[in-house]
Amino acid sequence: MADTDNSDAFVAFERVQKSYDGESLVVKDLNLTMPKGEFLTMLGPSGSGKTTCLMMLAGFESATHGEIKIDGVSINNIPPHKRGIGMVFQNYALFPHMTIAENLSFPLEVRKIGKSDREKKIKRALDMVEMGDFGGRRPAQLSGGQQQRVALARALVFEPELVLMDEPLGALDKQLREKMQFEITDLAHNLGITTVYVTHDQTEALTMSDRVAVFDDGRIQQIDPPDVLYESPQNSFVAQFIGENNTMQGTVKQIQGKQCLVELDNGEEIDAAPVNVNKVGERTTISIRPERVEFNKERLHADAHTLKAEVLEFIYMGDIFRTRLRVAGKEDFIIKTRNAPDQRRLKPGEQIEIGWMPEDARALDA
């Protein structure tokens, strides 16, 4: 599952474990490598171990077992202030008793950088986040978005090669968050810095990252670029966690190469792509994205299997239509259709048949 190619690794976790109480592991056997310049997001529900991983990398938590390396050097015994890692905190952690300029000056002062150099770097960093005029203000005089920019500038002002961000956009409103997502990725790519970004917001993870590591139960469940993650989830947790998803339980009836036939619990049969199933008779969960469900029979293969469905609810959402169906005895089956001129609008009570391309429906672990 995890990436094991170490040749161009800039950051590497090798068999890292972490326990707080000596009884249970918060992080279980973590292996992860990152090439230089990558924007990697750790995504997962709270308690999944993603923040602990970040804290271990930053040096605020020590690994119970295993090694963390930066540029091939183990940093297990290097204190946080010598690691040279920029960090953006969830609450920004801007020092309230210092002005913005003083906040930015702090990492430069402790590095004993001369005054004129400091001023130059501060100005460049502030200009970079479009906060050039705010140097004399105090953090409390700035809005949340402005504080966020300053926190970013402070983490970058001493030109670290690795920047860690711990849910930095969590406190912002939706519009600002979307704007900042774009700005942060832009900045990270332009400066060529390696970024580890922690979030529990899957949209954020998908839009910003080069690769996303999905955490659950102290393990990386899948680590892949956003499109692969979305379209080819490796297990039912990832499928559930990323994006909207319809699931159906059933038993594998036959497997033919990249296609299998699953008998649902109500006796109906449907096609799927076998991912985590190996043999006939195994229990499985079929996962299908709402936008890949087709109810126009002409667009399906002639020999495709279909399911009977009853329209329960039709929701007009502007750009798309969202329709809730009763399928195989369950009432939470969602399909999404584009609001195109020729698109048919389903009516509640209507009886239809739905189907899909076999490769879109993934037969995962039960």
Partner 1 sequence: MSDVTDATTAKRGPTPDDGLRIADSKDSGPVLSADGTPLKKSLRRALRMEKLRALALIAPLLIFVMISFIIPIGEMLFRSVENQIVEDTIPDAVRELRQWDRDEDELPPEAVFEAMYHDLFTASEAKKHTRLGSRLNYEESGMSSLFRQSGRALDDLGDDYLDALEEIDPDWEEGTVWYEMMSGGEGAERDTELSSRVVGQISNLEETFLPDTDAFAPSQAISELLPRTAEAYTRFAVFEALVDERDITDRDPWENVYPALIADMKSADVSGYDGPHADMLRELKSNIDDFEAPNYKAAFAAIDEDWAAHETWATIKAHSVRYTNGYFLNAIDMKRTPDGAVSQPEDRQILVKLFQRTLKMSLIITGSCILLGYPVAWILANLPTGKANLLMILVLLPFWTSLLVRTSAWKVMLQQQGVINDTLVWLGLVGDDSRLIMMNNATGTIIAMTHILLPFMILPMYSVMQTINPSYLRAAKSLGATNWTAFWRVYFPQSIPGIGAGSILVFILAIGYYITPEIVGGTDGVFISNRIAYHISSSLNWGLAAALGSILLAVVLILYWAYDRIVGIDNVKLG
Give the nearer residue to partner 1 in terms of CB position, either 139 or 355: 139
Please pick, from the candidates 84, 185, 230, 305, the single residue that binds partner 1 as defined by CB under 8 A: 84
- Residue among 120, 150, 145, 121 at smallest CA distance from 134: 150
- Which 169-188 residues touch partner 1, going by CB under 8 A? none
Distance CA 60, CA 58 (A): 6
Find the part of the chain contacting partner 1 (CB under 8 A) among 3-11, 62-70, 74-82, 169-177: 74-82
Angle at 191 between CA 156 and CA 140, to 5 degrees: 30
Count of residues that bind partner 1 according to CB under 8 A: 27
Residue 6 CB, shortest distance to partner 1, in Å, is 26
d(CA 241, CA 90): 22
- 115 binds partner 1 per the rule CB under 8 A: no
Which residues in 17-46 contact partner 1 (CB under 8 A)? Answer: none
CA distance 179 to 92: 17
The residue to which tokens 């009516």 are assigned = 347
Tokens of 333: 């089956």
Work out which of 9, 26, 42, 58 binds partner 1, going by CB under 8 A.
58
Q: Between 57 and 354, name the residue whose CB sits nearer to partner 1.
A: 57
93 binds partner 1 (CB under 8 A): yes
Q: Does 154 bind partner 1 (CB under 8 A)?
A: yes
Q: Give the list of residues 6+ apart from residue 82 with CB closer than 8 angstroms, or none.
A: none
Cβ-contact 246, 272 below 8 angstroms: no
Shortest separation between residue 97's beta carbon and partner 1, angstroms: 5
Q: Which is nearer to partner 1, 80 or 243 (CB)?
A: 80
Of 11, 42, 43, 85, the one binding partner 1 by CB under 8 A:
85
Q: How far apart are CA 181 and CA 185, in angstroms?
A: 6
296 is a site residue for partner 1 (CB under 8 A): no
The reply to whether 99 sits near partner 1 by the rule CB under 8 A is no
Are 30 and 41 contacting, i.e. CB atoms less than 8 angstroms apart?
A: no
